[in-house]
């Protein structure tokens, strides 16, 4: 069926496109200015999308950002079979070349969730069920996500976290964590130095969309006795290359 220009569905999709592309909270007035909608229509449709969970209104009551349902939709699309086989092939190739477990994780509330994982064939490894959720403050993937947030939001999110010391290396001081996140942002590289599990380390890099925005992390995880953080430096170019391939895949 041909979609009528100016129809409600057309306007709703354009609003979702505009909010998703903005990269920051955007008001109904700004949406209206971008799309040239009647003012009352823009406010009404934004309110309805908020009620349905596709948009989320900021505390200031004026600006909208992507809501949980829009986020879940995006994750579902990226997990679709069209992408899954190719994504898994990239992950398998990386794991095979490095010889260690590799995973892709995405933000899920105040934790990180795995969308794909390839375990090393070596005998000693740490296995996670795919439904596992891990903390933000003591994982390479979580710190990458935090580094992608604007400073104010980053601080607000960290204030909500339970900075539980999973090991003696876990960062539990908010100011120290903020400093660590600044370093992660500057390097676009994150390290878990036995912060979640004793004897296990991880390094991760961001996977971004075509606008350069973070949507997932790509990480290597291994026991410290065969994969020191000094040794890990040599694999950073491979990680970045695979992350670039995954970014390109998501744009297809």
Q: Which residues pair with 201 in a beta bridge?
A: 193, 222
Whether the predicted pLDDT of 157 surpasses 90: yes
Check whether residue 103 and residue 31 sit in a common domain: no
Check whether residue 149 and residue 206 sit in a common domain: yes
pLDDT band per the 50, 70, 90 thresholds, residue 125:
low
Positions of E strands within 159-245:
190-193, 200-208, 214-223
Q: Which residue carries 């909010």 as its tokens? A: 19
Cα 242 from Cα 24, distance rounded (Å):
27
**Average pLDDT of the chain, as a whole number:** 86
Is residue 72 situated within a structural domain?
A: no
Whether the predicted pLDDT of 59 surpasses 80: no
Check whether residue 37 and residue 110 sit in a common domain: no
Q: What share of the chain is helix, strand, coil (3-state, %, to 5)?
A: 50, 20, 30
Check whether residue 122 and residue 230 sit in a common domain: yes
151-160 CB contacts, 8 Å cutoff, 24+ apart: 154/178, 154/181, 157/110, 160/110
Task: Tell me the average pLDDT across 127-138.
Answer: 82
Check whether residue 100 and residue 193 sit in a common domain: yes
Cα 131 from Cα 114, distance rounded (Å):
7
Please count the structural domains in the chain: 2
Query: What's the CATH code of the domain at 40?
Result: 1.10.10.10
Structure confidence at residue 5 (pLDDT):
47
Check whether residue 18 and residue 111 sit in a common domain: no
- Residues of the chain with pLDDT > 90, as a percent, come to 44
Task: Tell me the average pLDDT across 71-84.
Answer: 65
Task: Tell me the average pLDDT across 124-131.
Answer: 66
Is residue 74 situated within a structural domain?
A: no
Cα 194 from Cα 196, distance rounded (Å):
6
75's torsion region: left (phi>0), alpha (psi -120 to 50) or beta? alpha
- Least-confidence region, from 50-64, 71-85, 90-104: 71-85
pLDDT band per the 50, 70, 90 thresholds, residue 154:
very high
pLDDT band per the 50, 70, 90 thresholds, residue 78:
low
Check whether residue 51 and residue 138 sit in a common domain: no
The domain in which residue 28 lies consists of 8-67
Query: What's the CATH code of the domain at 96?
Result: 3.30.450.40
């Amino acid at each position: 069926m041909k979609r009528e220009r100016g129809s409600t569905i057309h306007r709703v999709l354009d609003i979702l496109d505009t909010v998703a592309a903005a990269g920051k909270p955007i008001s109904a007035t700004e949406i209206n200015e971008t799309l040239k909608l009647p003012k009352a229509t823009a406010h009404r449709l934004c309110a309805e999308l908020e009620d349905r969970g596709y948009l989320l209104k900021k505390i200031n009551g004026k600006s909208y950002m992507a809501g949980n349902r829009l986020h879940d939709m995006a994750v579902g699309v990226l997990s679709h079979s069209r992408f899954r086989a190719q994504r898994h092939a990239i992950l398998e190739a990386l794991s095979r070349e490095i010889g260690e477990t590799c995973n892709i994780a995405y933000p899920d509330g105040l934790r990180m969730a795995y969308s794909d994982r390839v375990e090393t064939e070596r005998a000693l490894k740490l296995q996670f069920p795919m439904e596992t959720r891990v903390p933000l403050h003591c994982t390479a993937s979580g710190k990458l996500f935090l580094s992608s947030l604007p400073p104010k939001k980053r601080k607000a999110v960290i204030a909500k976290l339970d900075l539980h010391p999973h090991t003696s290396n876990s960062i539990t001081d908010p100011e120290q964590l903020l400093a660590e996140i600044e370093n992660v942002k500057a390097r676009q590289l994150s390290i878990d130095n036995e912060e979640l599990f004793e004897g296990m380390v991880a390094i991760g890099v961001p996977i971004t969309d075509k606008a350069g925005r973070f949507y997932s992390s790509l990480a290597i995880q291994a026991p410290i006795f065969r994969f020191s953080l000094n040794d890990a430096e040599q694999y950073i170019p491979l990680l970045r290359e695979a992350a670039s391939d995954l970014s390109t895949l998501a744009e297809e």
